[in-house]
Homo-oligomer: A and B are copies of this chain.
Amino acid sequence: MFDANRALQIVLELSGTFVFGLNGALTAMEAENLDLVGVIVLAVITALGGGIIRDVLIGFLPPSAFRDWRYLAVASGAGIIAFVARRLWVRVRRSITVFDAAGLALFCVTGTTAAFAAHLGPFQSAVLGTITAVGGGTIRDVVIKRVPTVLSSGLYAVPAAGGATLTALALEFHFYGGFLAVGAALLCFAIRMIGVKFNLNLPTSRPHL
């Protein structure tokens, strides 16, 4: 059972690494007018940040990002590609949001499976899956001096937690597989993009304070 799931895990993780790398690169170019090195650095920070935090918390050291050269290669490759093709980006802000949602979706699934494979319980795996999904974007935001999306946008942690929880239940009750993985990722992606489109938010605190 684990071989097909391992291939699935690697494909999803590298895909998430790639889209988060694009997101980090676009953010570096749009927000800060950084040069090529700065773009690559922010792409790598965004793409690998969540997974590194998760591996550190699990105790899986050195983190996957440093054991398998493909993660660093895909992350910096995404940065280089985005920089070289920078004149082609027409709707930059929308791309940034979509890539971020895609990375969120892929990582909330793969982060949970990675934690579960390290023998954490289903609840803990879901928590670590959520952290993996929001972690890279949060480090990216802090480094460019923005309030992290995980704080400012209600439907960011929630869809990530939803996808992670569904994945954790699937792993615990033995119905995890390719279809479930893609389904959980799509669910997370959809909720996030719906929240963005309709500008949905949970009740805020200020009116009453």
Contact = CB atoms under 8 A, between A and B. Distances in A.
Interface of A: 28-30, 32-39, 41-42, 52, 56-59, 61-63, 66-67, 69, 72, 83, 86-87, 89, 92, 120, 123-124, 127-128, 138, 142-145, 147-148, 150-152, 154, 156-158, 201-206, 208-209
Indicate how many identical chains form the complex: 3
Question: Sorted from nearest, which 3 A-B pairs have the closest CB atoms?
Answer: A59-B61, A33-B206, A29-B205
A59 to B, nearest CB: 3
Contacts of A205: 28-29, 33-36, 39, 83, 86
A143 B142 contact: yes
A38 B206 contact: no
DSSP majority for the A interface? helix
Contacts of A206: 29, 33
B120 A151 contact: no
A59 B64 CA distance: 12
Contacts of A42: 151
Nearest to A89: B209
B72 A63 contact: no
A35 B202 CA distance: 6
Contacts of A145: 145, 147
B151 A66 contact: no
